[in-house]
C-alpha cells in the first residue's frame, strides 16, 4: 500500500519525534523502502558508519552520515505559523499545497 507523499526534496521541515526532536533542516532525499516512505534531513539524525578503505588514497574509518527518518516524524514548516500539516487547493487548473493553519501556499 503506497502512502501519499506530501513532502518533497528541498522542503523546510521540523523533526517532531525522535532524538533530534525540534531540529529544523531541508529535505535532501525522499525514498520508499519496504513500503515505508523515508526522508533524509540535512544536519539531523547523524549516525556513525564504518567506511571500508577502497584504495591507497581513500581513507577508511568511521564517518558521520545522515540516516533516513520516517516521513511521519517530520512536519513541513510554514513561514508564518511554523510546523503544520499540508492540504491541497485547486488554483485554476493547478493543484497547490497549502498550510492547514493559515491557508498560505507552500
Which carries the bigger pLDDT value, residue 99 or residue 4? 99
User: Residue 24: how many CB atoms within 10 A of its CB?
Assistant: 18
What pLDDT was estimated at residue 3?
65
Give me the mean pLDDT over the 17-25 stretch.
91
What pLDDT was estimated at residue 5?
83
Distances (CA, A) of 19 to 22, 49, 79: 9, 18, 24
pLDDT digits (tens, 9 = 90+) for 71-92: 999 999 998 888 999 899 998 8
Amino acid at each position: 500500500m503506497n502512502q501519499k507523499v506530501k513532502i518533497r526534496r528541498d522542503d523546510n521541515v521540523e523533526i517532531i519525534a525522535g532524538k533530534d526532536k525540534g531540529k529544523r533542516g531541508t529535505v535532501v532525499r525522499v525514498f520508499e523502502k519496504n513500503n515505508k516512505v523515508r526522508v533524509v534531513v540535512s544536519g539531523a539524525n547523524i549516525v556513525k558508519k564504518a567506511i571500508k578503505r577502497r584504495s591507497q588514497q581513500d581513507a577508511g574509518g568511521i564517518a558521520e552520515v545522515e540516516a533516513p527518518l520516517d516521513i511521519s516524524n517530520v512536519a513541513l514548516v510554514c513561514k508564518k505559523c511554523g510546523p503544520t500539516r499540508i492540504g491541497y487547493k485547486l488554483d485554476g487548473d493547478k493543484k497547490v499545497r497549502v498550510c492547514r493553519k493559515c491557508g498560505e501556499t507552500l
